[in-house]
Amino acid sequence: MANASVDQMVSAAPRHNLLGMTEPQLAAFVVALGEKPFRARQLIKWIHQRGVSDFAAMTDISKVFRERLAEVAVIEAPELVHEHRSADGTRKWALRMAGGSLVETVLIPEGARGTLCVSSQVGCSLDCSFCSTGKQGFARDLTAAEIVGQLWVVNRSLGAFDDTRKRLVTNVVMMGMGEPLLNFDNVVAAAQLMMEDNAYGISKRRVTLSTSGVVPNLERLAGAVDVSLAISLHAPNDALRDQLVPINRKYPIAELLRATRGYMASLPDRKRVVTIEYTLIREVNDLDEHARELAELLRDLPCKINLIPFNPFPQSSYQRPEARRVERFQRRLQEAGYIVTVRTTRGDDIDAACGQLVGRVIDRTRRNERYRTQLAQKDSIITRVS
């Protein structure tokens, strides 16, 4: 949609989904229909602040224009299939996207803060060895409407459109299913909508994009949108990261950190720092030597480090480190002068913890089939040996 002309948008079938259009895109759309640009501001408020999907209910827009909109456009969010609630207050929604795949999004409440973990792809085209999502394979990128639609559906589910006191989503992290920077245009448009004053008005400090290291698109990000940045690092050297995060073989750590410094330098807010995400895996990347190497690697990068104890899943042989090992690793980094937090596992009882989102992916890569075959072979060997 971003590359289509306005004439194509207006005349082509099927009807255009306004849910994923930014205010400038909506302005171009309504002008092409013969209306004034200010109609875009009215539309975006109806859609994203009031949660209205029926043009007939938009009472400050003329009846003629509402009828015209109903002919050429829709406001269509992903279909809510089911919702799960964890004992710790975490909530997970499964949403059906076009084509039938299910995508999961998670809300993590913590005091006055509510962080929504949003997905950007159906499955994931990367295959990080410690992440359950990647084992599901990959179907396609989500559209801007499907990405911001997760926030829209959650707000509706929580009753936030009817009562501002129920607006529990204060932060959005693009850390769900998929690699955001491999779906660049749609992720940027969705992030812009989340921060748009006439839409959700979330602060740029509270919209975070997490990437495993798609360096060319990280370099593009500086001129496209101002969001907070998180880097999924998970290893202090290339040899280990090649095993854990395969994209490192294409864009090694030095290139990733160079692009990261460039993005952070482009931000007008010099007080912001990048978040380094580091999943701790028992006896893989959690040793003292790894902590020392990580401290040295990041010495020139303004950052904070978020340690994530590995969350086990059936298709992985990795193990979660003991609590004392996590504390020791954290202490080593703190002694080196870093701000270090340990991510508390939330929603584990509903498979909503970090790295556990799976949904239902119509896998065009056949990766899930291969993993299941490998597991079956391993189980067979274990059975014969025992």
Residues acting as catalytic residues: 104, 354
Which amino acid belongs to residue 138? Answer: F
- 19 and 186 in contact (C-beta within 8 Å)? no
Spatial neighbors of 385 by CB under 8 A, at least 6 apart, are: none
Sign of the torsion angle spanned by Cα atoms 197, 200, 201, 205 = negative
167/45 Cα distance (integer angstroms): 15
Q: Angle formed by the axes of helices 323-335 and 288-297, to 10°?
A: 30
The secondary structure of residue 270, as a DSSP letter, is: T
Spatial neighbors of 225 by CB under 8 A, at least 6 apart, are: 188, 191, 192
Say how many residues make up the chain. Answer: 386
- HSE toward the beta carbon, residue 16, CA cutoff 13 A: 22
Spatial neighbors of 140 by CB under 8 A, at least 6 apart, are: 99, 101, 121, 122, 364
